[in-house]
Chains A and B, each alone.
Chain A
Amino acid sequence: DIQVSQSPSSLSASVGDRVTITCRASQSIANYVNWYQQKLGKAPRLLIYAASTLQGGVPSRFSGSGYGTDFTLTINSLQPEDFATYYCQQSYITENTPESFGQGTRVEIK
């Protein structure tokens, strides 16, 4: 299986801060990485797909980068509504390799 390791597991930040979350795959997965935001009691919301493409309707302060094994989600100028948990997902599915999600990064108010 392809494992994804997400870090940090949590962070504290202030409104206006720049936040960076990383996701590392156990083997090369090209750009098969997506990023989701989840608020308590809600379904995940797609932010970024194919490592760096912003989903429609998502604010431009969110950006993604990376290729191969190392990926990054960046939130520029953190806003109050951005306090949530963020997950990376590798979608490099094969016959015997499932998709998988990272462990999540909880972004809390400092």
Chain B
Amino acid sequence: QITLEESGPTLVKPTQTLTLTCTFSGFSLTTPGVGVGWIRQPPTKTLEWLALIYWDDDKRYSPSLRSRLTVTKDTSKNQVVLTMTHMDPADTATYFCAHRHSVRGPPYFDYWGQGMLVTVSS
């Protein structure tokens, strides 16, 4: 059974750096074709894809946020960490991590964490 859970601060101040951790179970990030992605959703808005990290440490970022994002993995702890610098109130959103299936054919997110609301406010 695959599960993922996001953790981190629920409130950050403008200009601060946000660090979110995705702790997962039921799969290994050393298995070919497996990845973990980060997606966010501002209140009442649609989903926005942020970043991906694959089993082979290949990383992909949203071009519009690339300069602010870093994603890393710790396979021994079954964790993926997302760092976002220079936080702004516009970054207030629910942040999700999700299991990426990309073994054959078009990739997709088949398991998601429950998400955590991060508010950016002074």
Interface residues of A (CB under 8 A from B): 1, 30-34, 36, 42-46, 49-51, 55, 87, 89, 91-93, 95-104
Contacts and interface: CB of A to CB of B under 8 A. Distances in A.
Please classify how large the interface on chain B is, using the bins under 10, 10 to 19, 20 to 34, 35 or more: 20 to 34
23 contacts: A31-B106, A32-B107, A34-B108, A36-B47, A43-B96, A43-B98, A43-B112, A43-B113, A43-B115, A44-B109, A46-B108, A46-B109, A55-B110, A89-B49, A91-B107, A91-B108, A92-B106, A95-B60, A99-B49, A101-B48, A101-B49, A103-B46, A104-B46
Interface in B77-112: 96, 98, 101, 105-110, 112
B25 interface: no
Contact of B106 (A30, A44, A95): A30
A43 B114 contact: yes
